[in-house]
Amino acid sequence: MSVIVTDTGFGPDTWSHGFEGAQALDLASDAQIDDVQVAGIEAIRIDFPSFADGRGFTLARLLRLRGFQGRLRARGHVIADQYAMARRAGFDEVEIDNELAARQPEDQWLFRANWRDNNYQSRLRG
C-alpha cells in the first residue's frame, strides 16, 4: 500500500489509470529525457531508488521546462526533508510506502508544505 503526500498532507491515491497504459509513464531515475514522449500523457511517475539519488529532481525540472503540464509524481525513497525540493522541481505529489509514512508521520511533511514561503530564491528576487 502507498501513501500520497501533497501540500495538504497524507491521502489516498486518486490516480486510477495505472502507470503502464497510454495515459501515463513510469520513469526510472536514469531515464534519458530526450527519449521521453509526453504528447497525450496525463501523468508521469519518477522512481527514487534512494533518498541520496537526486536524478529524479532533475528529470522533473526538465519535464516542466519542456512544457509537461500533467500530474508529476515522485515515488520511492523521498524523505520529508526533500519535500520542498520535490515541489520546487515540479512534482505535484510524492508516493511513499506505509513504512516510511510511519517513520516520518504527516506532520513532518506538512511542516515542509509551505515550500513557497521558504524559498530563498524568491526572497532574493524581492
Structural domain total, the chain:
1
| Residue 40's CATH number | 3.40.50
- Which residues of the chain fall short of a pLDDT of 70? 115-126
> pTM, whole model, 2 decimals?
0.89
Q: Give the alpha-carbon dihedral of 62, 68, 69, 74, to 10 degrees.
A: -50
Q: Is residue 126 part of a domain?
A: no
Condensed to tens digits (0 to 9), the pLDDT of residues 25-47 reads 999 999 998 888 889 999 999 99
Angle CA 1–20–31, to nearest 5: 95
| Residue 16: domain span | 2-120
Residue 123 CA to residue 93 CA, distance in Å, equals 24
